[in-house]
Amino acid sequence: MSFFSIGIIWVNHHARFNLIVVVDRTLLFLNLLLLMFVVLIPFATATMATYLTSGTEDSHLSMAVYAVVLEGMALSFTAIFEWSLREGRTRVTVPRNQRGRARLRASLGTVVYAAVFASAFISAPVALALAGITAVYYVFAPLPHNEVQELTAGP
């Protein structure tokens, strides 16, 4: 699970940064924040895997820790996306009239991982399933900038 999640993050990170034409100090620190949460994923995964089937309070707490790490990663990605919306920072600019929809799609993980956190205290296995479904979603979800690029490319 950890390898799969990090792999999806790496692919989406590569796709996002492939569009960026300007790098500044803010972006570098946002990227470091993302990296911090990515390196915490194996620890959170191991902790969750150790306690998930125990049926004790530890299973709920370990799943909540896993959800917090995923939420931090999603918030970092969202911050990078917000940074990328300013004119001249990417090869493809998301038009202002499409930014609301793009923001919703880019930040979907933050909402879902908050739900994963809340559901961790009800059922750790259900919370894990929700996190897994979200990971699968991000395998297939195009980045908003890529969608705009495809729409404006023409025949």
| Eight-class DSSP state of 85 | T
Alpha helical stretches, state H, 19-56 = 25-51
Convert the pLDDT of each residue in 101-152 to its tens digit: 888 888 899 999 999 999 999 999 999 999 999 988 888 887 665 555 544 4
54-to-22, 50, 59, 125 alpha-carbon distances in Å: 48, 8, 6, 11
| Eight-class DSSP state of 86 | S
- What does the alpha-carbon distance between residue 78 and residue 90 come to, in Å, rounded to a whole number? 15
Residues 6 or more apart in contact with residue 14 via CB below 8 angstroms: none
* Single-letter amino acid code for the residue at 69: V
Kindly list the domain boundaries of the chain, sorted by start residue.
2-153
Convert the pLDDT of each residue in 140-150 to its tens digit: 887 665 555 54
Neighbours of 10 (CB within 10 A): 11
pTM of the model: 0.87
CB 131 within 8 A of CB 71: no
Bridge partners (DSSP) of residue 20 are: 90
Determine the number of helices (DSSP H) and then strands (DSSP E) in the chain: 7, 0
Q: Average pLDDT of 90-111?
A: 89
